[in-house]
């Protein structure tokens, strides 16, 4: 019989996600440093150090792209992609790698075959070796197979199994075996089991006991944990002494490779025990100890976030404020790259219920931004005089909302916005490039519910607002129709996003201004009060033309999974793929029924075409013109299925107008205005997704790409 889901499960998952990302952001600037280097340069780590001027420039952003975050929340999508089955296989998780990872660009450390464990496993998968053999010791050797990656990507598998450490450890084994083997599997199982059991058990030693029952008693991992527990029992306050013993017996000099799991797993256990579960102290310990600091701090943060709930972040420094829930997931599913902790927590909770054959009801009818848990701001920041925070709902104290306490001088306005695409500060992000597509497009309809505090002194005007990129990639503001909010009133706002000439939307939110225009002689006092944003969301098919626009960000809204993607030589889009199939993609998986069309000119290549309902590199429909002088309608899903095919003579250098419509299970395709295919796909597995331009073994050019409502 399944263990009941705890009543505070959603909140504890959210705390686990927060703990994970806070740990990454805290430990990343000095990742790989030794304990001695950290003490000499930074002292004990008690708070974020990303802005320390003596650190390398790459560290000066707090919210960054990071493999620990991207891998954790991306690989877990295997559950939803394969029907949320508890029988999910390693091979299916491996296929998830191939679907979402863009080679040499996203998620993994691309350190080369036999050097980077994950890169090695990816190459095995790419060349047809399925998991678990892709990560096996027999194929890759013990040292490569036992590095840290199995552990750092594993927290999500524990969070989807509240109170069920056995299932968590089993799912962790399957996920870890895609790229790892041996002790790396055991370490991953311990972390996942502790996360799962932390939903129902507070005692750290009992959590360890539960996890140890699920791995071999004679494993190095089990012996390591036993030693640390013994050291802690002997000197429960001296974590420095324990760290020295750990380095002496289990240090990097004893375990080969670039970043072995054993020493780093030891630091996780050490930090948990010597902190007695205090989040802030555990972060100080695990980060000051050195080695793979961001990975270790993230695992510690997730375990204690789940164990302690949101109280984990109280009573110490402000861990949550600078983060503001923001995180990035750059993958081949670009529409999910710009995300936040509450949104990712919702995906995890929905997966956990689905694993049980149940359906979880998203808060506030599934609104994208709903602020339903304490402290959640979902990336919003206030541009004005005042404060922004999560607060009890003005109409229902059992609900929560985003609250703005504002002060508007005569003639002044303010806004509260959250990213919808790559924000300006992240355009030139060092390290892992932020590949992303906007989450919002022209033609879609934005809706929001806002309310004014009953004690406000004046009415204010409130409207929906967005920013998009313009000339020199500077942001340009646009505003929807405003409504006047008198004290104590609530209004629904609605706005169909207008045509922006191909420019991507970078942020979305609300604007506030005084209810009546003022003259320069106006001596009225400032408008002060409370405004609450209950929820904000959007839906509908886009109505957008992708074309050259001022600046460079119009092109960045396409996720590049081709060898060359350029707008030079007179073509709006030029895609070159040296071997195999390359795609450039935009849109989101929320797009369902729509029409996409463009004119493509093939040069030297094997095939080219247009794809719809794209959910990654291995999940889409496509209209392809192939070198066999044929036209094909294909479904790409764990291999390629030809849904329809017919002869079609085409020539290099000749432009072809391609159109692809998707509506329910019906897929229709045209070339030069002639309907070639209209088929029904009864599999119903590809229900939504963005678009892509396709080039196979060669070069193709394209002009304006148009996406709109079905005729």
Percent over 90 (pLDDT), the chain: 91
Checking if the pLDDT of 517 tops 80, the result is no
Q: Which of 426-440, 597-611, 646-660, 669-683 has the lowest mean pLDDT?
A: 426-440
Q: How far apart are CA 200 and CA 210, in angstroms?
A: 12
What is the mean predicted confidence (pLDDT) over 311-327? Answer: 97
pLDDT tens string 137-156: 999 999 999 999 999 999 99
Rounded average pLDDT over 503-510: 98
Residue 589 to residue 614: CA distance in whole angstroms: 7
pLDDT at 276 > cutoff 70: yes
| pLDDT of 286 over the 80 cut | yes
Residue 523 is predicted with a pLDDT of: 60
Q: Which residue has the higher pLDDT, 430 or 170?
A: 170
**pLDDT of 81 above 90:** yes
> Looking at residues 445-458, what average pLDDT do you find?
96
d(CA 286, CA 298) in angstroms, rounded, equals 10
The tens digit of pLDDT for each residue in 566-592 reads 988 788 999 999 999 999 999 999 999
Do the domains 366-539 and 558-708 sit in the same CATH topology, yes or no? yes
pLDDT of 520 > 80? The answer is no
The confidence band for 57, taking pLDDT boundaries of 50, 70 and 90, is low
Q: Is the pLDDT of residue 58 over 70?
A: no
Going by C-alpha positions, the residue among 437, 311, 309, 330 that lies closest to residue 73 is 330
Q: Burial of 631 by CB count in 10 Å (0-12 exposed, 13-18 middle, 19+ buried)? A: buried
Check residue 178 and report its DSSP letter: T
Domain ranges for the chain, please list them.
9-327, 366-539, 558-708
Assigned CATH for 558-708: 2.60.120.560
707, 691 contact by CB (below 8 A): yes
Out of 180-194, 507-521, 677-691, give the one with best mean pLDDT. 180-194
Q: How confident is the model at residue 361 (pLDDT cuts 50, 70, 90)?
A: very high
Q: Could you confirm whether domain 9-327 is CATH 3.40.50.800?
A: no
Calculated CA dihedral for residues 174, 177, 183, 189, nearest 10 degrees = -20
Q: Which residues contact 356 (CB under 8 A, 6 or more apart)?
A: 2, 5
pLDDT band at residue 525 under the 50/70/90 scheme: confident
pLDDT confidence bin for 241, thresholds 50/70/90: very high
Query: If DSSP states are collapsed to H, E and C, what string results for 643-662?
Result: EEEEECCCCCCCCEEEEEEE
37: three-class secondary structure by DSSP: helix
Task: Please choose, from the candidates 363, 372, 407, the residue with its C-alpha nearest in 3D space to the C-alpha of residue 390.
Answer: 372
Matching CATH number, 366-539, of 1.20.140.10, 2.40.33.10, 2.60.120.260, 3.50.50.60: 2.60.120.260
Mean per-residue pLDDT over the chain, rounded = 95
Q: Tell me the CA end-to-end span of the chain in Å, nearest whole number.
A: 51
**pLDDT digit string (tens) for 649-704?**
999 999 999 999 999 999 999 999 999 999 999 988 899 999 999 999 999 999 99
Q: Compute the C-alpha angle 529/531/534, nearest 5°.
A: 160
* 270: nearest Cα among 255, 260, 253, 282: 282
Q: Strands, E, within 310-394: which ranges?
A: 326-328, 338-340, 381-383, 386-392
Between 429 and 223, the higher pLDDT residue = 223
Is 6 within 8 Å of 199 (Cβ atoms)? yes
Cis peptide before 469 (omega within 30 of 0): no
Question: Does pLDDT of 422 surpass 70?
Answer: yes
Cβ–Cβ under 8 Å, residues 399 and 439: no
- Tell me how far apart the alpha carbons of residues 694 and 600 are, in angstroms, rounded to a whole number: 10
Mean pLDDT confidence for 222-233: 98
Parallel/antiparallel/unpaired status of strands 413-419 and 400-408? unpaired
Per-residue pLDDT for 522 more than 60? no
Give the tokens for residue 619: 């999940």
The mean per-residue pLDDT over the stretch 619-640 comes to 96
**Residues 507-529, mean pLDDT to the nearest whole number:** 78
pLDDT band at 554 (very low <50, low <70, confident <90, very high): very high
pLDDT at 431 over 80: no
Q: Give the DSSP letter of residue 260.
A: B
Contact yes or no for 207/201 (Cβ under 8 A): yes
DSSP 616: S
Do 667 and 643 touch, CB atoms closer than 8 A?
yes
Distance CA 184, CA 545 (A): 48
pLDDT value, residue 409: 86
Which of helix, strand or coil describes residue 354? helix
CB 656 within 8 A of CB 600: yes
- CB within 8 A of 170, min separation 6: which ones? none
Integer angstrom CA distances of residue 44 from 27, 36, 266, 285, 302: 12, 11, 19, 8, 21
pLDDT at residue 54, as a whole number = 75
């Amino acid at each position: 019989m399944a263990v009941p889901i705890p009543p505070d499960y959603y909140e504890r998952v959210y705390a686990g996600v927060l703990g994970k990302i806070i740990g990454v952001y805290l430990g990343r600037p000095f990742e790989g440093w030794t304990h001695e280097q950290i003490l000499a340069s930074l002292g004990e780590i008690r708070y974020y150090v990303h802005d320390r001027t003596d650190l390398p420039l790459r560290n000066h952003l707090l919210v960054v792209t990071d493999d620990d975050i991207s891998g954790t929340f991306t690989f877990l999508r295997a559950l939803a992609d394969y029907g949320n089955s508890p029988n999910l296989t390693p091979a299916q998780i491996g296929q998830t790698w191939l679907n979402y990872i863009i080679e040499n660009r996203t998620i993994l450390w691309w350190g080369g075959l036999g050097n980077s464990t994950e890169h090695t496993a990816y190459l095995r998968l790419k060349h047809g070796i399925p998991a678990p053999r892709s990560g096996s010791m027999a194929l890759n050797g013990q040292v490569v197979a036992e590095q840290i990656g199995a552990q750092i990507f594993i927290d999500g598998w524990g969070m989807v199994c509240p109170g069920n450490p056995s299932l968590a450890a089993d799912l962790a084994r399957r996920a870890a075996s895609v790229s790892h083997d041996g002790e790396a599997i055991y370490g991953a199982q311990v972390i996942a089991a502790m996360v799962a059991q932390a939903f129902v058990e507070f005692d750290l030693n009992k959590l360890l006991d539960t996890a140890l029952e699920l791995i071999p008693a004679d494993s190095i991992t089990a012996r390591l944990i036993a030693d640390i527990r013994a050291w802690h029992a002997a000197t429960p306050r001296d974590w420095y002494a324990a760290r020295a013993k750990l380095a002496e017996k289990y240090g990097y000099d004893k375990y080969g490779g670039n970043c072995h799991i054993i020493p780093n797993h030891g630091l996780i256990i050490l930090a948990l025990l010597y902190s007695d579960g205090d989040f802030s102290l555990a972060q100080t310990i695990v980060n000051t100890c050195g080695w793979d600091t961001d990975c270790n701090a993230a695992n510690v943060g997730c375990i204690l976030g789940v164990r302690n709930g949101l109280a984990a972040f109280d009573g110490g420094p402000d861990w949550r404020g600078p983060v503001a829930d923001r995180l990035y997931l750059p993958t081949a599913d670009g529409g999910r790259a710009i995300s936040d902790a509450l949104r990712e927590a919702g995906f995890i909770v929905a997966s956990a219920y689905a694993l049980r054959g149940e359906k979880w009801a998203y808060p506030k009818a599934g609104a994208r931004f709903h602020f339903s848990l304490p402290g959640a701001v979902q990336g919003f920041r206030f541009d004005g005089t005042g404060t922004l925070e999560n607060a009890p709902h003005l109409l229902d104290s059992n609900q929560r909302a985003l609250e703005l306490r504002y002060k508007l001088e005569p003639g002044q306005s303010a806004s509260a916005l959250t990213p919808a695409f790559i924000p300006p500060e992240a355009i030139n992000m060092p390290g892992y490039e932020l590949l992303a597509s906007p989450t919002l497009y022209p033609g879609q309809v934005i809706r929001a519910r806002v309310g004014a505090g009953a004690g406000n002194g004046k009415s204010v005007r409130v409207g929906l607002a967005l920013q998009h990129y313009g000339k020199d990639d500077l942001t340009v503001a646009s505003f929807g129709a405003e409504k006047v909010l008198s004290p104590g009133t609530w209004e629904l706002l609605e706005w169909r996003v207008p045509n922006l000439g191909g420019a991507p939307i970078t942020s979305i939110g609300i604007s506030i201004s005084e209810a009546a225009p003022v003259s320069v002689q106006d001596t009225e006092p400032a408008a002060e009060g409370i405004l609450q944003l209950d929820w904000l969301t959007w839906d509908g098919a886009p109505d957008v033309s992708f074309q050259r626009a001022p600046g460079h960000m119009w092109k960045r809204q396409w996720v590049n999974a081709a060898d060359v993607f350029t707008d030079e030589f007179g073509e709006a889009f030029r895609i070159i793929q040296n071997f195999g199939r390359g795609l450039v993609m935009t849109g989101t998986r929320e797009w369902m029924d729509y029409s996409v069309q463009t004119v493509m000119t093939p040069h030297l290549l094997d095939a080219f075409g247009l794809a719809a309902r794209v959910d990654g590199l291995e999940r889409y429909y496509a209209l392809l013109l192939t070198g066999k002088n044929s036209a094909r309608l294909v479904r790409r899903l764990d291999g390629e299925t030809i849904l329809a095919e017919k002869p079609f003579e085409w020539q290099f250098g000749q432009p072809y107008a391609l159109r692809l419509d998707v509506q329910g299970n019906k897929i229709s395709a045209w070339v030069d205005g002639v309907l070639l295919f209209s088929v029904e796909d009864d599999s119903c597995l590809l229900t939504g997704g963005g678009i892509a331009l396709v080039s196979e073994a060669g070069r193709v050019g394209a002009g304006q790409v148009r996406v709109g409502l079905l005729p």
